[in-house]
């Protein structure tokens, strides 16, 4: 049975996208096998709770399947599109009232366990942290706060007393630069 999965796991991004566009459910399994571990790490970095991360990842994959027709290959790579869906799903979760209520009722022992397990995900596993290190300090700060801490641009502007337009400009220029880094690695 492992031999049957081996060829499937070697699908190119183009083949995978074509099969997903054709609503091939087996392609969704391949997609999950190829990307779930990395996406889970990104989600866990934001939500900090393993059980919540698992739920968020499942919801994100359902969203990916249900909205796959909106994926535009000319706007970026499949992984980038999926990581944005997962990140947004995780941020929506931590901003939800239910999540905040659950966190407030957590006991000290659980909180301590989470504090020590929150660093398990290392963005450098997918090279993002290394690329972010190449940004100038202002761009790096905005990207760190947005993508690794889950803050919105408005929250960054307010918390750091930076004009919102400046935050948006730094984010946009950082994303353009990171896009060039990613294209250089592909």
And the tokens for 119?
Answer: 């660093």
And the tokens for 85?
Answer: 């869906």
Over residues 14-33, mean pLDDT = 92
Over residues 115-120, mean pLDDT = 45
Domains of the chain: 10-118 (1.10.1740.10), 122-186 (1.10.10.10)
Asked whether the predicted pLDDT for residue 117 surpasses 50, the reply is: no
Tally of CA atoms within 13 A in the half-sphere of 15 that contains its CB: 9
Asked whether the predicted pLDDT for residue 9 surpasses 60, the reply is: no
More confident residue, 141 or 62: 62
Q: Which residues contact 94 (CB under 8 A, 6 or more apart)?
A: 46, 47, 100, 150
Asked whether the predicted pLDDT for residue 111 surpasses 90, the reply is: no
pLDDT at 53 (0 to 100): 92
pTM of the predicted protein model: 0.54
> Are 121 and 45 in contact, with CB atoms under 8 Å apart?
yes
Tens digits of residue pLDDT in 50-107 = 999 999 999 999 999 999 999 999 988 999 899 999 999 998 888 875 655 555 545 4
pLDDT at 16 (0 to 100): 92
pLDDT at 175 (0 to 100): 81
pLDDT at 10 (0 to 100): 60
Give the pLDDT band (50/70/90) at residue 153.
confident
And the tokens for 145?
Answer: 């706060």
Q: Which residues contact 123 (CB under 8 A, 6 or more apart)?
A: 41, 42, 45, 129, 132, 148
Report in angstroms the alpha-carbon separations of 59 from 55, 73, 118.
Answer: 6, 22, 21
The region, left, alpha or beta by phi > 0 then psi within -120 to 50, assigned to residue 115 is alpha
Chain mean pLDDT for the chain: 78
> Are 65 and 28 in contact, with CB atoms under 8 Å apart?
yes
Distance, in Å, from the CA atom of 127 to the CA atom of 83, rounded to the nearest integer, reads: 14
pLDDT at 114 (0 to 100): 47
The position carrying tokens 């391949």 is 30
pLDDT at 127 (0 to 100): 63
């Amino acid at each position: 049975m492992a031999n049957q999965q081996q060829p499937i796991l070697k699908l190119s991004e183009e083949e995978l996208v074509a099969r997903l566009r054709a609503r091939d459910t087996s392609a969704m399994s391949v997609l999950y096998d190829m990307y779930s571990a990395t996406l889970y790490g990104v989600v866990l970095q934001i939500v900090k709770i393993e059980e919540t991360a698992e739920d968020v990842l499942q919801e994100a994959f359902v969203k990916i399947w249900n909205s796959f027709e909106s994926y535009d290959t000319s706007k970026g790579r499949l992984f980038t599109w999926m990581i944005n869906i997962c990140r947004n799903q995780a941020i929506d979760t931590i901003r939800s009232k239910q999540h905040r209520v659950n966190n407030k009722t957590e006991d000290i022992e659980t909180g301590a366990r989470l504090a020590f397990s929150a660093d398990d995900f290392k963005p450098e596993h997918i090279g993002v942290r290394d690329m972010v290190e190449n940004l100038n300090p202002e761009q790096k700060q905005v990207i760190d706060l947005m993508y690794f801490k889950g803050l919105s641009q408005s929250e960054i502007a307010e918390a750091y007393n930076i004009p919102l337009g400046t935050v948006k400009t730094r984010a946009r220029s950082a994303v353009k630069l990171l896009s060039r880094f990613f294209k250089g690695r592909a």
